[in-house]
Amino acid sequence: MTTEPNPPIDPNTPRELEKARSDLKTLRAELQAARAERDTIRAERDDAIKSRDGLKAQFDKQKTEFEGKLTDATAAVTKAQADAVEAGKAAKAQADAAVIRAEAKAAATRLGAVAPEDVVKLIDLDAVKIGENGEVEGLDAVMAAAKEARGYLFSEPPKPGAETGTTKTPPAPKAGEPGPLNARTLSDEDYAKQKQQFLNG
C-alpha cells in the first residue's frame, strides 16, 4: 500500500492563524470590557433602585407624618370651633339672663314691689325668654302670678307728691331742671334707652 505524501503547507496558513489568535485576544478583551461595563451598569442600576426605594420609604414616612399632623390639626380646629360655639351659647345665655333679671326688676318696680331685688330672687324666671326680636317674652305673666301669690311683697305704687306715712315723695321738678327718673312714666323708647344704659353701666 502506498501512502500519499502530505499536501504542501500553505505559506499563508501560519499568518492567518496568528491573525485569528490576535483577533481572538481582541475579542476576549472587548468581551471582558463589555462585561465590566455591564457590571458597572448593573451596580449603578442597583444603587438607583436602592436610592429610589429609600426615597420612597422617606416619602411614605413623611406622608404618614403629614397625614397624622393634618388629622391632629383638623381635630384641633373642630374642637376649637365646637368650644367657640359652646362659649358663644354660654355668653348669650348669661347675657339673656342678665337682661331678663333687669327687666324683671323694672317690672317689679312698676308693679309696686317693696324690694324689687327680693322679688326677682324669689320668682321663677325659667319661663321667661328673649325672643328673636330681642323682646322679653313671658315676663308679664310671671310677674302677675308673683304679685298674686306673694302680694305681701308689693304695695300700691305711690303717687307723685303724695305722702305715704312719714315719707313724702319728692316734689315736682322746677322748670328747666330734669326730674327724677320714673320708670312707670317713661315712653317705650326712653325706657329702652334707660334699660340699655343700666345694662352697660
* Burial group, residue 34, by CB count within 10 angstroms (0-12, 13-18, 19+): exposed
Please tell me what DSSP assigns to residue 2: P
Average pLDDT over residues 146-175: 64
163-164 and 167-168 beta bridge pairing: antiparallel
Reported pTM: 0.43
Whose cell is 334707660? That residue is: 194
Question: Which cell numbers in the block locate residue 113?
Answer: 314691689
The better pLDDT of the pair 99, 8 is held by: 99
| Res 5 pLDDT > 80 | no
pLDDT in tens, 57-101: 888 888 888 899 989 999 999 998 999 899 888 888 888 888 888
Question: What's the CA gap between 183 and 95, in Å, rounded?
Answer: 22
Chain centroid offset of residue 29 CA = 74
Q: Taking residues 18-38, what's their average pLDDT?
A: 87
> 157: pLDDT confidence band, cut at 50, 70 and 90?
low
pLDDT for residue 167 is more than 70 = no
- What was the pLDDT predicted at 189? 83
Q: Which three cell numbers, joined as nine digits, stand for 40?
A: 458597572
What value does the mean pLDDT take over residues 185-189?
Answer: 76
Query: Once rounded to an integer, what is the mean pLDDT over residues 146-172?
Result: 65
Using an 8 Å Cβ cutoff, are 125 and 140 in contact? no
